[in-house]
Structure 1
Amino acid sequence: MSHSPSPALARRPWYLATLGGLASYLDSGVLFATALSISLWQSQFGLSAWSVGAVSALLGLSIGAGSLFGGRIGDRFGRKRVYSADLMVFAFGLLWLIFAVNEPMLYVGVVLTGLAAGADMPASLALIGEIAPADKRGRLISYAQLMWGIGIIVVQIVAKLTAFSGTLMPRLLFGQLLLVAVVTWLLRRRLPESEVWVADRERRQVRDGRSWVQVLSRPIVGGLLFTTVFYLLSASMTNFFASFGAYAMIGLFHFDLPTVTSVMTMIGPVGLVCSIVFMRLVDRRTARSAMFAVGAVVQVVALLVLVVLPLDSTVFVICFMAMIAGSSFAGEGNYKVWSQEIFPTSLRGTAQGISFGVARIGAALFALVTPTLLHNDPKFVLTLLLIATVVAMGVGFVFQPRTTGSTIDEIDAAFATDAPPGGTAEAVARKHASAAEPSA
């Protein structure tokens, strides 16, 4: 039985992708708002270096934990139950950050917002992947990643405009996120459940059903290991620049806050432009591989320059910009697209939740010690990031799937219990490899 998206959903995929992609907007928004606020909080509440690391780490750990549960709940009870309810938790957490008067309130705020943002991510991405036409799936998923970049830019603009307002700036940064979260929640309430998920649930009820234990089956665990390792290592690098780029400019190079916000507003558009290019070309198999290779080389070279050359503020800013550009072609966007193409509907959210959760938790644990390491030996931190990035890019280049253009039916059929040996999603893709690539 086919369970492709209905014509009603197919007519408005960009609207649904926008509402789903706002999960990425809120995710990046809270990360960068926290990163830009941490120095002000440090002076306002007397935070130690360990406390600075703890705030960032708790946010990352909570995002990871939320995705572990949110992905499974989305597979078990539906995408809508997750992406509707979690935004209210997110908004409640933002209120703690907006009205924080002491250090414990910061911890409560980042935990609540992190749990909600993490739970939203796998459910929203699965929804987008399931309503998208096969030849535009990568583009719509990349659009969600573009929303991640827009979230950064909006935070940077607000920070630039309010940099001279002192402790009011964090309240305004999180205030605009609160407004977006509430509006998104109101609009999402009108969305239908994923028809692909509903049809898959009915099929599983008629047949033998699927258990989360099947995530450990051979066809699935390979994809899970691949996406987890790639995203864990690449996210450690991007999380460093997202969470501690501004902190490093202030702590290592003694930039004042207005200068930092000016630098960040220059860097943001670079990532946005590269993300648009990626979105336009990602559904072409050859172009996707070529972009990944270019992005990987740019990231490795930028980190190598930081490790080899003496630390200099100008070099750091240039390499920061290069890292943002490179990761737009070889980074989280690739992970999100791959995750829609190599897992079946019944376990798509669960698998994404596991890989996203493990990666974010790993990056958060690294963030816990990053401020202290930066003060003691910044070169050591950059060397660790270089090693992680080289391994991540190598894994991504060698093992990236060739599933571009496969329909949801084809992907699910490859994981059916009566599928022939070797019936993985990639095998289905090879079967259809002779099909012409989609146009831009």
Structure 2
Amino acid sequence: MENTVRRVRPQLQIEESPMTPFLWRVSAFTLGGMFTDGYILGHIGIALGLATPELGLNGLWLGLLAASTLLGILIGAPIAGRLADRFGRRRLLAVDFAVIAAGALAHLFVTDPGTLLALRTFMGIAIGAEYAIGAAVLSEFAPRRSRGTLLASLNGAWIVGFVAGFAVAYVMREAGADWRAIFASAAVPALAVLLLRIGSPESPRWLLANGRGEEAQAVVERFYGGGYGLEGLAAASGEPAKRGLAELFSPAYRTRTIFAGGFWACQVMPLFALTIFLPQVFEALGIGTELGAEMLVNGMLLVGAVTGVIAIKYLPRRKLVIVTFGIVAAALLAMSFAGSFPVWFGIGAFAVFVLVASAASNLEYVYPSEIFPTEIRATGMGFAAALSRVGAAASTFLLPVALEKFGNMATMALLAAIAVLGLVISVLWAPETQGKSLDEASREGAQ
């Protein structure tokens, strides 16, 4: 009897896939998610300015309302990250943005500061969920050659959204719009993202890590093509139900966890505080608060975001994070002496700070997504985002108080010390992930 030998054609790895229409769709709805998150924060200053007379907001209320969204992120990011690692990414993708759209529209009915505070915190929880889920999804679908650029673009999308939120709020204010309508305008991008997410598949990496190989193969064949398979992906390596925050602080990953949250917090603390309260910062630096100056800063944010995407494509991650912390610390230290020099000195130092800090912040969505394995990727991303927002909320709340009580020199010197701390954390623990597969980057060198 003649034996028939079946030849099996080697399967292609999904990390070597080109950018297909499906992958562009994934990129669009994750980048759109971060755009919306930035938009929601970008219009806070103008909207609160309009709401102040009607609601009788004092300095304490303004600080609480400005920080409330960031505090909501502290709650939402780790919880959503754990849920995404336990139950999958797909279930949370659409639900999260349905919640964001509904929350934005709910602003139309706010009549008192307490309700506004609760609603802004609620929006922050939903945004925190996106921080944990979006980057994890994009990193798990993206091809290797495009992963760094796409993940870096998440921060660029956030900055574009932040600037767009400011610009739209300004136009709406000049057109006589109510502050409630400014807050509610975030429902427009949220609904667009929601439509893109409907029908999206589960991550094949997550399915495989949870012992669901046949489902993972079906997703790969449907969305990548019949020639692709699960080659090169890590199979199930444990029981996900028993993983989570404790795993992040296990001997294998604790230094990476400290690095991910620490460097992110040290980046956002100065940037959030100094960009959200631009009028107070300009006054401290002796700069007028005209619209032109504010738009210049937002323009530098955009230029920095684009520069950062390009830098991450060509430069080693570790070198980039270390060098940029050094430049940011020097710029903030220069700003502390701005009162002793002509106005142009303070403007120049502030411009350098915004440009470099914006470029460096693209690493916030690259590093945490690359240095944790699939089983705890969203949990790690959520923890890092939460820790960063603790710092951002604290610096945003305290900046006006510090400027008033201690003056520009002490305040900027303190922010420079935070950048130096980020530099030390990066020198000690920043790994190099450029050019590695996602599995190699997340497991190699873990201590």
Q: Same fold (TM over 0.5)?
A: yes
Map 1:154-303 onto structure 2 (within 5 A): 154-165=164-175, 168=177, 170-202=179-211, 208-210=238-240, 211-212=243-244, 213-249=246-282, 259-260=290-291, 262-286=292-316, 288-289=317-318, 291-292=320-321, 294-303=323-332
SS in 2 for 1:321: helix
Residues matched between the structures, number: 411
Alignment match, 2:34? 24
TM-score normalized by structure 1?
Answer: 0.84
- Shift of residue 4, structure 1, vs aligned partner: 4.2
Report percent identity of matched pairs.
22
Structure whose CA Rg is larger:
2
Instruction: Please report how far the alpha carbon of residue 247 of structure 1 lies from its aligned counterpart in structure 2 after TM superposition.
Output: 4.8
Structure 1's 250 and 78: CA in aligned 2 closer, same or farther, altered over 3 A? farther
Following superposition, the deviation at residue 303 of structure 1 comes to 1.0
CA distance in 2, matches of 1:201, 1:233: 34
Query: In structure 2, what is the Cα distance between the partners aligned to 1:49 and 1:216?
Result: 39
Counterpart residue identity of residue 415, structure 2: L
- The answer to whether residue 389 in structure 2 is matched with residue 360 in structure 1 is yes
Give CA-to-partner distance per residue, 1:334-374, whole Å, 9 cap, x none: 12211122110000000111111122023213333333333
Query: In 1, Cα distance between the equivalents of 2:100 and 2:433?
Result: 34
Question: Which region of structure 1 is more displaced relative to structure 2, 145-154 or 315-324?
Answer: 315-324
1:395-414 aligned at under 5 Å gives the runs: 395-411=425-441, 414=443
Partner SS, residue 282 of structure 1? helix
2:51 maps to which residue? Answer: 41
Shift of 1:217: 1.4
In 2: Cα distance, 1:155 partner to 1:123 partner: 22
CA spacing shift, 1:13–1:374, aligned 2, 3 Å: same
Distance 1:73 1:9 in 2: 28
CA RMSD in angstroms, aligned pairs only: 2.9
Aligned partner of residue 300 in structure 1, secondary structure: helix
Structure 2: stretches of 5+ with no match in the other structure? 1-10, 214-234
1:419 corresponds to: none
Aligned pair 1:307/2:317, yes or no?
no
Residue number in structure 1 paired with 2:114: 104
Q: State the Cα deviation string for residues 205-263 of structure 1 (Å, max 9, x = none).
A: 9764242232221121110011111112222111202322245447986956xx24x32
State the Cα distance separating 1:50 from its structure 2 match: 1.1
Deviation at 1:201, TM superposition (A): 1.5
Question: What's the offset of the Cα at 1:191?
Answer: 1.5
Aligned to 2:373: 344
Distance 1:207 1:408, change over 3 A: closer
Instruction: Report how far residue 152 of structure 1 moved.
Output: 1.9
Shift of 1:169: 5.7
User: 1:381 deviation in Å?
Assistant: 2.5
